[in-house]
Chain A
Amino acid sequence: MSSLENKTSSTWLNADRRRLILQEYGIFLAFLLLVGVLALSNEFFLTPGNISNVLLQTSINGVLAIGMTFVILTRGIDLSVGSVVALAGMVSASFVTSSATAGIAGAPYPMVVALAVGILVGVCCGALVGFIVSRFSVPAFVATLGMLSAARGATLIYGGGRPVPALSAEFRWIGTGNILGIPMPVILLAVVFLVSWWVLTRTRFGRYIYAVGGNPHAAKTSGLNVTRIRFLVYVISGALSGLAGMILSARTGSALPQAGIAYELDAIAAVVIGGTSLSGGVGRVTGTLIGALIIGVMNNGLDLMGIQSYYQQVLKGALIVGAVMLDQKRNQGA
């Protein structure tokens, strides 16, 4: 029952504002705290070289997590991103390799062709999943679990189980080049982030995504095409997985069939740490970006401290669960 109407406006605003500040900036404060602690405990942490390194390591997970945010906002999940990374990375690589056996006829093609192909592969995978989820009401968990397996298989079939080596320098620039000293993957992540932020906060389509995730029945009654919106979020996630796949193979210089294994888990972790609700309708892409940065910074910081990667995994697990516990508590309080 609403006790709200009886509240005096002054106490209301204070409690309300405090909660808002926590909600808006809580995750950001946590991030700054982490950076502060690491900066104090290790002198290398805040060097330009290391910062650039952290951002570079975050870029692929960041791109995937942003796509995942679109899906999770509509109450879905996309488990297939890691496999789509491998498939798109491998198919696009076959267009720019100079290896006679691994490439397709006429390779190497210009980088733009490979880019278009890689994105297209991701879009197709996403469209298939989106079609199955939105038209046949198959749970997203199941549909994308199927794609996780199928896309991995397709990668192995396409490359015959072998890597695609010797990618063109022009293509490798996506992963290793830089503009004004900023690594290309970081620039790509920034672009993806800004466009996604704009779409989710400033456009009608973004509003539709929140409405479908918040209450699909109400969205349908209000005349929204729920099926189409559900379909499109998987296409977006697929396209971004394709982009991430190309960044990965461009960075390593060859496309590996086992690339991207378990990437979906880090992407989901970033989204969850960033405060997006798995039950849909609540969350922000800014939070996701910071979530991805927290994972990246933590891995890097623990590396610098010389802590074994085995322990890092345990800590990451604790961080994911802890972030959600805090989030729940924050939402209940106030």
Chain B
Amino acid sequence: MQPLLKVEGLKKSFGGVAALRDGRFALEAGSVHALCGGNGAGKSTFLSILMGIHKRDGGTILHRGRPVEFNSPAEALASGIAIIEQELSPVPHMTVAENIYLGREPSTRFGGIDFKTMNRNAQALLDRLEFNISATQYMMNLSVAQMQLVEIAKALSHDADVIFMDEPTSAIGEKEAQHLFQAIERLKAEGKGIVYVSHRLSEIFQIADSYTVFRDGGFVGDGKLADIDRPGLIRMIVGRELGEEYIKTNTPTEIAGLEVTGLSASGKIEDISFTAHKGEIFGIYGLMGSGRTEIFNCLFGMDRASAGDIRLDGQPVAIRQPSDAMAEGMAFVTEDRKLTGLNLTDSVRNNICLASLPEMSPAFVMQRRREQASAADMIARFGIKAARDTMPVSGLSGGNQQKVVLGKWFLRDPRVLLLDEPTRGVDVGAKREIYRIICDFAAEGGTVVMISSEIDEILGMSDRILVMRQGRSAGIYSRKDADAQSLVHLST
């Protein structure tokens, strides 16, 4: 059978540097194909060429056996190749139907928009896909997961038969991800080809039929997922044996590091209590919107708690703003490094020093040497790959950006580390390094509280796990009592 999409020898260089040397790919109709690779493997370049954002330097793309070349995403879409991007950009103040038919609204006899037909068509499409979304709702009232479904509907309204999904689950919770997977199954049954790009191996094994691995801009291999196991796939992605994915070298002590009693914030969280010990990695698991991040926001003074006690090393502390929390030795690695973690336009050095300026330069004038030395120290300690410490942090890969955020907080020598999704959007190799950093910190007697929506990660790293459900605690479980099924069960 002729593949739906066949790519061979795709090449692309940026300024003389090869980003993609040999992109090879074959997608069968009615299948889900996982595109795997670390950050810098060439996946993004591959996608951007297929979508017509970049011009290729060489190679062929065959769509249904016909060679194609696109100059813009619109051309790709018109010929039936759609992409659901990692960061969606809907028009928030328009309805679902208006978003789906943006730029090709049906018109009335007088040249106005035929809203009736548009809404009817949109609703019919959504119903056929069983998405359970009203076409007349405003886009801004939808969850991220629902917006993705709208994007899928939009792709199908263009009669797309090849749909790329770039990290579709990075911003949605486990339950919503399962909904998405059901939608993918339906697309598959309709004979569409889905290309699934994700760092999350467990998802790939759950929904994909076949895989292609890229590494360092080149094709490494492909095959059926039924014929490979997880360690085998990891080996192909990183190019070396990783052994255990999760490192665990810390041993919890009996000394309380962070004690939280009865923490509440109206409408967000209610009566959360837990004690994280020194040397412990305390995990918090829950769906998006279950109040995970809100706990950290209250602890760090970003939000005001309406009730509750916080004790550090046994001493009660009052935290009204982030600088209070920082003075008590707390550090907060936020969920979204681009939104709340980094100043992307600024340099690596300045980002590392951002949270330590008063300490580093007690007088009004900055002490440049000290900043330089501290930044160099963190870059070496975490192996941050940057050409110079004065280069903008936006030029780094996701994993290195995340290490800059970690460096910013480790520079303060914290006692308690609050980590919110510390490995989101980070490739397998960098993930391991981040796990090592976290473990080393705990092993030296630090207290770690880590939020993650990746079940493997939370089970692999935590000593104990607090499960959140609808703003309340659904219990605390020790490492040996918890498994994936029970966590999903408790959190939903």
Task: Write the residues of chain A forming the contact surface with B, with a CB cutoff of 8 angstroms.
Answer: 1-9, 11-12, 15-16, 202-205, 207-208, 210-211, 214-215, 217-225, 281-282, 334
Contact = CB atoms under 8 A, between A and B. Distances in A.
A281 B43 CA distance: 31
B354 A211 contact: yes
B17 A281 contact: no
B440 to A, nearest CB: 23
A2 B397 contact: yes
Contact of A204 (B17, B19, B357): B357
Contact of A221 (B15, B19, B332): B332
Given A203-B364, A222-B408, A1 B42 contact: yes
Interface stretch (B115-123, B153-161, B338-346, B467-475): B338-346
A218 B341 contact: yes
Nearest to B15: A15
Contacts of A220: 302, 322, 340
A334 B385 CA distance: 20
Nearest to A214: B343
A11 B14 CA distance: 12
A8 B350 CA distance: 25
Interface string B257-297: 00000000000000000000000000000000000000000
A5 B322 contact: no
Contacts of A2: 39-40, 395-397, 400
Given A2-B39, A9-B387, A222-B322, 18 more contacts: A1-B39, A1-B42, A1-B44, A2-B40, A2-B400, A3-B45, A4-B387, A6-B40, A7-B17, A202-B366, A204-B364, A204-B365, A210-B350, A211-B354, A215-B343, A218-B341, A219-B354, A220-B322
A217 B385 contact: no
Contacts of B41: 1
A225 B44 CA distance: 37
Interface string B28-51: 000000000001111111000000
Contact of A3 (B14, B302, B341): B14
A16 B387 contact: yes
Given A3-B14, A5-B40, A204-B358, A219 B343 contact: yes
A6 B17 contact: yes
B323 interface: yes
Contacts of A221: 300, 302, 322, 332, 334, 340-341
Contacts of A11: 15-17
Interface in B213-241: 216-217
B355 A223 contact: yes
B365 A203 contact: yes
B71 interface: no
A281 B366 CA distance: 18
How many interface residues does chain B have, given as a range? 35 or more
Nearest to A221: B340
B141 interface: no
Contacts of B321: 223, 225
Contacts of B17: 3, 6-8, 11
A301 to B, nearest CB: 34
Contacts of A225: 321, 323
Contacts of B326: 223
Contact of B216 (A6, A217, A219): A6
B361 interface: yes
A204 B357 CA distance: 7
A12 B397 CA distance: 16
B361 A204 contact: yes
A215 B336 CA distance: 12
7 contacts: A1-B40, A2-B40, A207-B354, A211-B350, A218-B354, A219-B354, A281-B343
B337 to A, nearest CB: 8
A208 B322 contact: no
Contacts of A218: 339-343, 354
B18 interface: yes
Q: Which 7 A-B pairs have the closest CB atoms?
A: A214-B343, A1-B44, A2-B397, A222-B355, A223-B323, A3-B19, A217-B340
Contacts of B302: 220-221
B5 to A, nearest CB: 21
Contacts of B340: 215, 217-218, 220-221
Given A2-B39, A3-B40, A6-B18, A211 B346 contact: yes
A256 B15 CA distance: 57
Interface string B316-339: 000001110110000010100001
B306 to A, nearest CB: 21
A196 B117 CA distance: 60
A182 B16 CA distance: 52
A13 to B, nearest CB: 8
Contact of B350 (A4, A207, A217, A223): A207
Nearest to B385: A5
Nearest to A12: B387
Contacts of B334: 221
B343 A211 contact: yes
A224 B322 CA distance: 8
Nearest to A217: B340
B477 to A, nearest CB: 30
A207 B40 contact: no
A134 to B, nearest CB: 15
Nearest to B371: A207
Contacts of A281: 343, 345-346
A221 B420 CA distance: 13
Contacts of A3: 14, 17-19, 40, 45, 217
Given A203-B364, A204-B364, A221-B302, A1 B344 contact: no
A260 B395 CA distance: 43
